[in-house]
Amino acid sequence: DVKVTQSSRYLVKRTGEKVFLECVQDMDHENMFWYRQDPGLGLRLIYFSYDVKMKEKGDIPEGYSVSREKKERFSLILESASTNQTSMYLCASSSPGTSNQPQHFGDGTRLSIL
Amino acid sequence: GDSVTQMEGPVTLSEEAFLTINCTYTATGYPSLFWYVQYPGEGLQLLLKATKADDKGSNKGFEATYRKETTSFHLEKGSVQVSDSAVYFCALPYSGGSNYKLTFGKGTLLTVNP
Output the DSSP codes for A49-107: EEETTEEEE-S--TTEEEEEEETTEEEEEESS--GGG-EEEEEEEE-SSSTT---EE--
Contacts of B42 in chain A (CB under 8 A): 107-108
pLDDT of A40 > 90? The answer is no
CB-based contacts of B81, cutoff 8 Å, min separation 6: B15, B16, B112
CB-based contacts of B69, cutoff 8 Å, min separation 6: none
User: Which of A91, A83, A92 is closest to A109 using CA atoms?
Assistant: A91
User: Which of A89, A113, A93, A90 is closest to A103 using CA atoms?
Assistant: A93
Q: What CA–CA distances, in Å, run from A101 to A50, A112, B9, B19, B97?
A: 14, 32, 28, 27, 15
User: Which of B35, B30, B58, B51 is closest to B104 using CA atoms?
Assistant: B35
DSSP state of A16: T
pLDDT of A2 > 80? The answer is no
**Residue-by-residue pLDDT tens, chain B, 114 positions:** 788 999 888 999 999 999 999 999 998 877 899 999 999 988 999 999 999 889 999 999 999 999 999 999 999 999 999 999 999 999 998 876 656 788 999 999 999 999
Instruction: Check if B44 contacts A (Cβ < 8 Å).
Output: yes
At residue A92, the pLDDT reads 96
Contact B50, B75 (CB under 8 A): no
At residue B96, the pLDDT reads 64
Percent of chain A topping pLDDT 70: 97
Closest B-chain CA to A100 = B32
Q: With CB atoms and an 8 Å threshold, state whether A107 touches B42.
A: yes
Q: Which of B43, B49, B99 sits opposite A31 (nearest CB)?
A: B99
Contact B89, B23 (CB under 8 A): no
HSE toward the beta carbon, residue A16, CA cutoff 13 A: 0
Shortest Cα–Cα distance, B32 to chain A (Å): 5
Instruction: Check if B56 contacts A (Cβ < 8 Å).
Output: no
Q: With CB atoms and an 8 Å threshold, state whether A42 touches B107.
A: yes
Strand partners, B11: B110
Pick the residue of B2, B42, B44, B51 with the most A CBs within 10 A to test the interface with A by mutation: B44
Dump pLDDT digits (tens) for A45-101.
999 998 898 899 999 999 999 999 999 999 999 999 999 999 999 999 998 877 778
CB-based contacts of B113, cutoff 8 Å, min separation 6: B12, B13, B14, B15, B82
Chain centroid to CA B28: 19
Instruction: Check if A51 contacts B (Cβ < 8 Å).
Output: no
- Bridge-based pairing of strands A109-113 and A10-13 is parallel
Instruction: Check if B73 contacts A (Cβ < 8 Å).
Output: no
